[in-house]
Amino acid sequence: MKGIVLAGGLGSRLSPLTDGVSKQLLPVYDKPMIYYPISVLMMSGIRDILIITSPEDQNNYIRCLGNGERFGVKLTYKIQEKPEGLAQAFHIGERFIENEKVCLILGDNIFWGDSLQEKLIKAKENINGATVFGYSVNNPVDFGVVEFDSSHKVVSIEEKPKNPKSNFAVTGLYFYDNKVCNLSKKIKPSKRNELEITSLNNLYLRDKRINAELLGRGYAWFDCGTTESLLSASYFIEGIQKRQNFIVACLEEIAYHNNWLSDHVIQQYKNIKPKNAYQSYVKKLFYKEI
């Protein structure tokens, strides 16, 4: 399975913060926002990742992340000339995906939970059509909303409905089979002139080939598109890290435990003189376990 992080867009809701920098490069506590969605893909066991950016920001992402070697992954970059909906990611990434299955995650989405990796691996390994993740929210009118029957089978998915049929928002994390690129070509632009991800999900629903995983108590999801959610996410990450003494979305740690790092990369980290808590954490990890 391949992975895509959609990190384009204008970030206009966060202006003036985003007037000079891409939203997904803004800090969430102690690391760039994009570390968090990349960590989700890595926890899913995905190593071949495409980063989709706006034209003016691509070089900044490359400077921040490089080719992915130091994280044990392969990073490729493509440009989104104009943001025209989430499903556009499968047009831009068609050649990258080829005939593989794919996981799409939005670059401003943060997920946390003790059993999150188990759910991710389950979704990856049992993919038969599509899998979306639902999270209970107080304001479902602002999201795509998924409705379930008594056995938790998906009944409907609606984009920002005036009268939501449930409180479960569809998060920015989607697993798809290798038919996703062809299906995305069948979508017509919405009234917003966008290729809606909900329209794509409804094609899978029509064929009864979509599943939903619910993120209930014990999970946290942040859509960092506003200043309030960005601040809330930073406070949350700070609290978790200080109380539990580990770093959330430490890409080097995930790669290390997955045995993805070469001896050369590990040696480079061992030889650095830490200048901050993040670097000290990584160096301690390597010294302690080698």
21 and 64 part of one domain: yes
Domain extent, residue 268, equals 262-290
70 and 153 part of one domain: yes
**Mean predicted confidence (pLDDT) in 190-197:** 92
Give the Cα separation of 62 and 64 in Å (integer): 5
Proportion of the chain above pLDDT 70, given as a percent: 99
28 and 68 part of one domain: yes
Please compute Rg for the chain using Cα positions: 19
147 and 32 part of one domain: yes
**Mean predicted confidence (pLDDT) in 196-218:** 95
| Domain CATH number, residue 65 | 3.90.550.10
Give the Cα separation of 91 and 249 in Å (integer): 28
Q: Provide the token pair at 218.
A: 């014990």
Q: At 89, give phi and psi (nearest 5°).
A: -55, -30
Length of the chain: 290
Residue with tokens 């062809």: 182
269 and 224 part of one domain: no
The helix/strand/coil state of 222 is strand
List CB contacts of 202: < 8 A, sequence separation 6 or more: 157
157 and 270 part of one domain: no
Q: How far is CA 239 from CA 34, 43, 268, 277, in A?
A: 19, 21, 30, 15
**Mean predicted confidence (pLDDT) in 28-38:** 98
165 and 31 part of one domain: yes
Q: Are 67 and 176 in contact (CB under 8 A)?
A: no
282 and 207 part of one domain: no
pLDDT at residue 150, rounded to an integer: 82
Taking the whole predicted model, whether its pTM rises above 0.85 is answered as yes
The model's pLDDT over 137-191, given as tens digits with 9 standing for 90+, comes to 999 999 999 999 888 789 999 999 999 999 999 999 999 999 999 999 999 999 8
184 and 153 part of one domain: yes
Q: Are 27 and 33 in contact (CB under 8 A)?
A: yes
Please work out, in degrees rounded to the nearest 5, the angle formed at the alpha carbon of residue 247 by the alpha carbons of 245 and 249.
Answer: 155
In this model, does residue 40 exceed pLDDT 90? Answer: yes
Proportion of the chain above pLDDT 90, given as a percent: 89
Q: Provide the token pair at 55.
A: 């034209």
Strand ranges (DSSP E) for the chain?
A: 2-7, 27-28, 31-32, 48-53, 74-79, 102-106, 109-113, 130-136, 144-148, 154-159, 168-176, 210-215, 219-223
The helix/strand/coil state of 238 is helix
Q: Provide the token pair at 25.
A: 């490069």
Count of structural domains, the chain: 2
pLDDT at residue 289, rounded to an integer: 56
Q: Provide the token pair at 289.
A: 């376990």
**Mean predicted confidence (pLDDT) in 274-279:** 92
253 and 280 part of one domain: no
Q: Are 157 and 147 in contact (CB under 8 A)?
A: yes
Give the Cα separation of 177 and 139 in Å (integer): 30
Give the Cα separation of 214 and 89 in Å (integer): 24
Print burial letters for 70-86: b (CB count within 10 Å at least 16), e (below 16).
Answer: bbbbebebbebeeebbb
In this model, does residue 290 exceed pLDDT 60? Answer: no
Q: Are 148 and 192 in contact (CB under 8 A)?
A: no
286 and 143 part of one domain: no
What ranges in the chain are assigned the alpha helix state H? 35-43, 58-65, 89-92, 94-97, 116-125, 180-184, 197-206, 227-244, 251-257, 263-270, 277-289
In this model, does residue 192 exceed pLDDT 80? Answer: yes
How remote is the C-alpha of 21 from its chain's centroid? 19
The model's pLDDT over 69-90, given as tens digits with 9 standing for 90+, comes to 999 999 999 999 999 999 999 9
**Mean predicted confidence (pLDDT) in 98-124:** 96
Find, among 156, 203, 144, the residue nearest to 177 by Cα. Answer: 203
pLDDT at residue 93, rounded to an integer: 98
The model's pLDDT over 208-258, given as tens digits with 9 standing for 90+, comes to 999 999 999 999 999 999 999 999 999 999 999 999 999 999 999 999 999
128 and 249 part of one domain: yes
What confidence category does residue 9 fall into, taking pLDDT thresholds of 50, 70 and 90? confident
Residue with tokens 């430490």: 250
